[in-house]
C-alpha cells in the first residue's frame, strides 16, 4: 500500500465538519491518526525530508499538529527545530517560538493539513516580525482549497507531501 493510500485509509472521515478556517466540509483528514502512529509518522517524516528547500536552517512546527510532524521531519532532515505557539505564552519566557532561535535564520514552517493557509500566514507574519526569514512551508496534506495561492500572495511557497487529488486517487 502506498503512503497516500495508507494516509487516506487511516485519516479520511466523512460527515459534516467545521474547519479552522470556519468553512464547513463534508470530509475531514484526522491528522492525529497519522501523528499518533509512530511507524506511519516516521514514514511521513522520511517523505517530507526531500521537500526541505536547500538553505533551510531551522524547521518550525506550528501548534499543535505541526509539532509531531516537525520532530519526525527533523529526525530525517538532520535540522534543528522550533515549536511555534498560536500566541506567545503570557508567563515564563513569554515566547512565541520555543526551541532553536529563529532570529536571522532561514526557517521552514511545518504544518499537518493546509486548507486556507491561514495559520501559516499568521505565524509567518509574527515570526518575520521577530526576525525569522520565511519563504517556504511544508505540509503533510494540502486539501487544495486555496491555501497554496493564499500563501504565495504572502511570499510563501507551499510544498505538500500529499494533495487531496493524490489521496482521492489512492
- pLDDT tens digits, one per residue of 128-147: 999 999 999 999 999 999 99
What's residue 89's pLDDT? 78
The response to whether 117 counts as a known ligand-binding position is yes
Is 115 labeled as ligand-binding? yes
Q: Is 86 annotated as a binding residue?
A: yes
pLDDT band, residue 25 (cuts 50/70/90): confident
**CA 36 from centroid of its chain's CA atoms:** 16
Q: Find the helix or strand (DSSP H, E) in which 53 lies.
A: none
Q: Confirm or deny that 20 is annotated as ligand binding.
A: yes
Q: 155: pLDDT confidence band, cut at 50, 70 and 90?
A: very high
85 is in an annotated binding site: yes
Average of pLDDT values for 71-86?
97
Cα 5 to Cα 46: distance, rounded to the nearest angstrom = 16
Residue 92 clears pLDDT 80, i.e. is over it: no
Rounded mean pLDDT of 6-31? Answer: 90
pTM score: 0.94
pLDDT(1) > 90: no
Neighbours of 116 (CB within 10 A): 19
Q: How confident is the model at residue 90 (pLDDT cuts 50, 70, 90)?
A: confident
Domain edges within the chain: 3-169
**Over 80: is that where the pLDDT of 56 sits?**
yes
Residue where the block lists cell 517523505 = 47
Asked which of 23-27, 72-76, 89-93 is least confident by mean pLDDT, the reply is: 89-93
- Look at residue 157 and give its three-state secondary structure: strand
113 is in an annotated binding site: yes
Identify the CATH number of the domain defined by range 3-169: 3.40.50.2020
Amino acid at each position: 500500500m502506498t503512503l497516500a493510500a495508507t494516509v487516506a485509509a487511516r485519516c479520511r472521515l466523512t460527515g459534516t465538519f467545521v474547519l479552522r478556517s470556519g468553512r464547513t466540509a463534508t470530509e475531514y483528514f484526522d491528522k492525529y491518526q497519522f501523528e499518533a502512529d509512530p511507524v506511519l509518522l516516521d514514514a511521513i517524516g522520511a517523505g517530507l525530508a526531500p521537500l526541505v528547500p536547500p538553505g533551510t536552517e531551522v524547521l518550525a512546527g506550528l501548534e499543535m499538529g505541526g509539532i509531531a510532524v516537525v520532530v519526525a521531519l527533523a529526525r530525517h532532515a538532520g535540522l534543528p527545530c522550533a515549536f511555534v505557539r498560536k500566541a506567545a505564552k503570557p508567563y515564563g519566557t513569554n515566547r512565541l517560538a520555543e526551541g532553536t532561535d529563529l532570529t536571522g535564520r532561514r526557517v521552514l514552517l511545518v504544518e499537518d493539513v493546509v486548507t486556507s493557509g491561514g495559520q501559516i500566514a499568521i505565524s509567518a507574519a509574527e515570526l518575520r516580525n521577530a526576525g525569522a526569514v520565511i519563504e517556504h512551508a511544508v505540509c503533510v496534506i494540502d486539501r487544495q482549497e486555496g491555501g497554496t495561492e493564499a500563501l504565495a500572495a504572502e511570499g510563501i511557497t507551499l510544498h505538500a507531501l500529499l494533495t487531496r487529488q493524490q489521496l482521492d486517487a489512492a
